[in-house]
Amino acid sequence: MEKAPIHQIIHLFKQSFNDLNVIIKDKELEDFALLVHSAMIGARRKFHTPNHALLVCNNLHHPLQILGGLFHDVIYYQVDGGFPDNLEDFLDGVVRVRKDDTVFIQKTVRTEQNEILRICLDVFGFQFEQKLPIYGGLNEFLSAYIAGKALENYLSKAQILSVLACIEATIPFRLPNQQGESHFEQLFLKLEKVNKKYALKLSKVHLEHYTQLAVGVANEDVANFADKDTGRFLDNTWLLIFESNKNLFAKFTGFVSSILQYRHGIMKTESFIKNLKPESIFHQFKNIPEPSHYEYLQQQAGINLAIAKEYLGVKLLTAMLLEALAHTTGGDVPISIFTGGIRTENNAVERAEDYLPACLENTVYNEKVFKLLAFGRASDVGFDMKNSPLSAFIYKSLGSIRCVELLEKVREFFEEKIYYHEFLESFDANVLSAVAQACAKIAITRTEALEKYF
């Protein structure tokens, strides 16, 4: 029988402290676990939850890695809409938040005397009074600082340095710098400077080991990109769509997200996946991970990204088609008005795909992408169907090449080069007609207006 996340976190803290020969009371273990767990259960968190921290720790073996893995996402500023209530005391006097939600590290007598803060700044390469980049270290830096302060009375400065490095390593998707140095080569150099500056007396071998531990945490944090099951990879992508889009999340109660907001969420993720370079996902330092496994990680990530790119492209094309139909027949509405509610095993609600004809034949398409659209990702996520029958119909009827061509029209719309009616005019008439007729069966208040597309 599986233990609840809070109890698993308690166990990991206990195991880590025992392995480090740290004597700690049960109440202190409980406080550590509650500190992490409470920070990660915000209402908008769908992916970066306690379960994600546990998954990261699942394949880690060194106690300093596990401590880093437990703390690495306690701050997720843009998702939580601020700092978790239980962590505000840690950050009091350390950060300053402006009205535009930008976050700065304060320079005061108190912060300058805060050795953990200064070490953390050095590990991340940040400075006092610097604006923390929201997608370049804000969450990781503050999570690391909180970890360092929480562990200050239990670990040595050298051990804390390792934990901070493990969390810094989870800033994702970084390529080598202009000098060709990988991020972990740069991290090693920063650890060398910290070692000298604070007289930690760590050998080069120790610092290399700390860097290798950090690589391990970083790769586990993004392990989903190398999942052999692309459906599971897409599950987590879907969780991130709703976690990272504030407006979409706010409106997605009972499947009432507007078509425009739904399209916007898909658009952001499709753009991210389309531009993500596989070589920026996984990392290696001094043959850790071993070359064969590192090669596998990169190869599988490339496969998943290629499938996800095409899958999300079709989803974006479908969302754009629904948006155009809505706006030319009366305006934006909840997406369920056009498609119907969420169908589950226990809820056979009527949907637009019930009224679609058979797919057109003789088109060329990727069978894996079609199966993901037709039969679904790995699991239900609770706020959207795991399969996409309408997208599957469009994809199979048009074929891969035509979908790519129409996606270019979608991008022209985003650039305001064409308008809704021009996008619809460019769409294949037989597929447009089939989708419009199917939606007309569901959106009975738009039936008459949709007839012009029949």
Q: Which residues on neighbouring strands pair with residue 97, listed in sequence order?
A: 103
**Half-sphere exposure at residue 74, Cβ-oriented, CA atoms within 13 angstroms:** 30
Instruction: Read off the pLDDT of residues 357-392 as tens digits, 9 standing for 90 and up.
Output: 988 777 899 999 999 898 865 455 444 556 789 999
The DSSP bridge pattern shows strands 103-105 and 95-97 to be: antiparallel
What is the three-class DSSP state of 131?
strand
The answer on 214 and 231 residing in a single domain is no
CB 168 within 8 A of CB 98: no
Domain count, the chain: 2
The answer on 108 and 210 residing in a single domain is yes
Q: Nearest Cα to 67, choosing from 29, 124, 119, 38?
A: 29
- For 431, the domain range is 226-453
Q: Nearest Cα to 388, choosing from 357, 324, 342, 442?
A: 342
- List the structure tokens of 342: 């969420």
- Rounded to 5 degrees, what angle do the CA atoms 210, 214, 218 make? 175
Identify the helix (H) or strand (E) that includes residue 97: strand 95-97
Domain end call among 189, 221, 253? 221
Burial pattern 228-237, b for ≥16 Cβ within 10 A else e, equals eebbebbbbb
Instruction: Read off the pLDDT of residues 196-253 as tens digits, 9 standing for 90 and up.
Output: 999 999 999 999 999 999 999 999 999 999 999 888 888 777 677 766 665 554 444 4
Would you call the peptide bond into 50 cis, given omega within 30 degrees of 0 as the criterion?
no
CB 204 within 8 A of CB 198: no
Q: Give strand ranges (E) for 185-314.
A: none
The answer on 263 and 203 residing in a single domain is no
Identify the helix (H) or strand (E) that includes residue 105: strand 103-105
Q: Nearest Cα to 79, choosing from 37, 40, 44, 35?
A: 44
The answer on 158 and 26 residing in a single domain is yes
Give the Å distances, CA to CA, from 196 to 158, 164, 210, 369.
12, 16, 15, 52
Domain end call among 221, 244, 268? 221
Residue 46's pLDDT is what?
A: 83
DSSP code of residue 103: E
The answer on 155 and 296 residing in a single domain is no
User: Residue 31: what residue type?
Assistant: D
Domain end call among 204, 221, 238? 221
User: Residue 111: what residue type?
Assistant: T
Residue 215's pLDDT is what?
A: 98
The answer on 273 and 212 residing in a single domain is no
CB 121 within 8 A of CB 94: no
How many angstroms separate the CA atoms of 331 and 19, rounded? 61
Mean pLDDT in each 10-residue stretch from start to end of the chain (454 residues)? 94 98 96 97 88 95 98 94 93 93 94 97 96 93 98 97 98 93 97 97 97 98 92 78 60 60 88 91 96 96 94 95 97 91 73 89 88 72 67 95 97 96 96 97 96 96
The answer on 288 and 175 residing in a single domain is no
The answer on 275 and 144 residing in a single domain is no
The answer on 208 and 255 residing in a single domain is no
- List the structure tokens of 183: 């991020």
How many angstroms separate the CA atoms of 393 and 357, rounded? 9
How many angstroms separate the CA atoms of 452 and 16, rounded? 66
The answer on 237 and 199 residing in a single domain is no
- Whose tokens are 């190869």? That residue is 299
The answer on 61 and 26 residing in a single domain is yes
The answer on 370 and 244 residing in a single domain is yes
Residue 254's pLDDT is what?
A: 42
